[in-house]
Amino acid sequence: MLSALALGVLLAACDPSPASIALRQGKRPPVTPPPPAADTVATLATAMPPAEREATPPEPASPGDPAPADERVPVANEPIAPDGDATIEEAGDKTGDDNTLELLGQQIPPGTSARLTWAASEVFEGVSTATPVLVVNGKRDGPVLCLTAAIHGDELNGIEMVRRVMHEVEPDKLRGAVIGVPIVNLQGFRRGSRYLPDRRDLNRYFPGNPTGSSAARIAYSLFENIVRRCDALVDLHTGSFYRTNLPQLRADLRYRNVREMTQAFGGMAVLHSEPALGTLRRAATEAGIPTVTLEAGEPLRLQSSKVSEGVTGIFALLSSQGMVRRVQLLRTPEPVFYESNWVRADHGGILFAVVRLGQEVSAGDVLGTVTDPITNQQNLIYASNGGRVLGMAVNQVVMPGFAAFRIGIETDGPPASMLATAEWGQTEMGGAPPTDEPAAEAGEPTAVEDADLEETS
Ligand SMILES: [Zn+2]
């Protein structure tokens, strides 16, 4: 297929803006006058014509019937699935000739907002689970930015970030489109759990499989029906398992389009990390969709300041792509790139931190105390190197070996070794062939442990 993606890449090559998300499409001006802008989430539902309200997948799919959605499109990197009634080309056409956005079987005219329903999964009773998808299709043509939150159902800050962004973006002033999935893992969210009901981590199953496990099918449906419509993706997370993160981006900086995307967030900290297999970030990046994870705060809490920082970063991204206009009173600060390592507790007991998130520390500084509640024996945790506290455990009882503090080491930019072309060759990537692991990786936790911590967020 000559996909929209390939076409977009082609067009992007002509784009004078190097930092552009880039997949722009030449379009004629809208042929119909758009309805009034919806300026709150509450009015998203009420301001639009009934046809766009509570849209559901086309017949014969009832809301939530996963099979038709899964079968509609073939898997990109697997043998073709059984014939469906549509192809990627049809389903994946981002915009029609008049800037109409096609998504989930619905048409969203330019200059309008819509609330759609993505139905990928069933709960045990066989009843459909319909997940809301918010869309703002701008009056003018431009990139499609997607926001996904709560792939881990207990990570709440991202849900609020999506709400605020979708609330603030005005369809008649937007260039391009923003698609927000506030609660990807609705089943986990309802139970206050990171996982799906079968204890699987959804963020290990992308790009999914239409005939695989429940998690693989959900991942597949999200990936084919929504993610492939995106020109760029921000996946919103928090720390996990009683850990909290400084608002930061996780990005595979070996990809040029990903690097450029991180720089568009303004001054947000950027941590290079090669995503674990099965993460949405990895699958989307490999599919040529520049993707970052935006980490902020801790799970099971709503933290207004963390949410605000994330929203500010997302709007900086939108602004840098020319999707929204924002008056910048101050020059946007440059991002700061980090490598990192974890400092672990060598003793079990009650952990109290003596540093705060974002604090600069020097090698040998005391980061926290671990006290045995029975013997009153106290041990200190020291910084093994100087840097900035990018992530840390909240105060709790810990076991020896518990990763307690993540210290970020500032770099001048993405290290040269990270600028190499990744093995997952993509047209957007630049640089030399891959080199060995960065030296900084030596002595860090094992790949499995590190990946675990990396993405359990
Ligand atoms: Zn997460």
Whole-structure pTM value: 0.73
Q: Are 121 and 69 in contact (CB under 8 A)?
A: no
Structure tokens at 351: 């952990």
pLDDT digits (tens, 9 = 90+) for 307-319: 999 999 999 999 9
- For residue 203, the CA-to-ligand 1 centroid distance in Å is 8
Least confident of 5-9, 90-94, 441-445: 441-445
Instruction: Name the residue type at position 67.
Output: A
Spatial CA neighbour of 145 closest among 271, 314, 382: 314
Distance 398 CA to ligand 1 centre (A): 21
Rounded to whole angstroms, how far apart are CA atoms 272 and 410?
Answer: 11
Quote the ligand 1 centre to 284 CA distance (angstroms): 16
Residue range 273-290: mean pLDDT, rounded: 96
8 A C-beta contact, residue 21 and residue 261: yes
Integer Cα distance of 296 and 304 in angstroms: 10
Compute, in angstroms, the gap from residue 426 CA to the centroid of ligand 1. 26
The answer to which of 39-53, 286-300, 371-385 has the lowest mean pLDDT is 39-53
Look at residue 385 in the predicted model and tell me its pLDDT.
93
Torsions phi, psi of 350, nearest 5?
Answer: -95, 120
78, 132 in Cβ contact below 8 A?
no
Give per-residue burial for 93-107: e unless 16+ CB within 10 Å, then b.
Answer: bbbeeebbbbbbbbb
Angle at 65 between CA 61 and CA 67, to 5 degrees: 90
CA of 151 to the centre of ligand 1 (A): 6
* Least confident piece of the model among 93-97, 134-138, 185-189: 93-97
CA 54 – ligand 1 centroid, Å: 28
Q: Which domains does the chain have, with CATH numbers?
A: 4-320 (3.40.630.10), 340-455 (2.40.50.100)
- Give the mean model confidence (pLDDT) for residues 419-430: 36
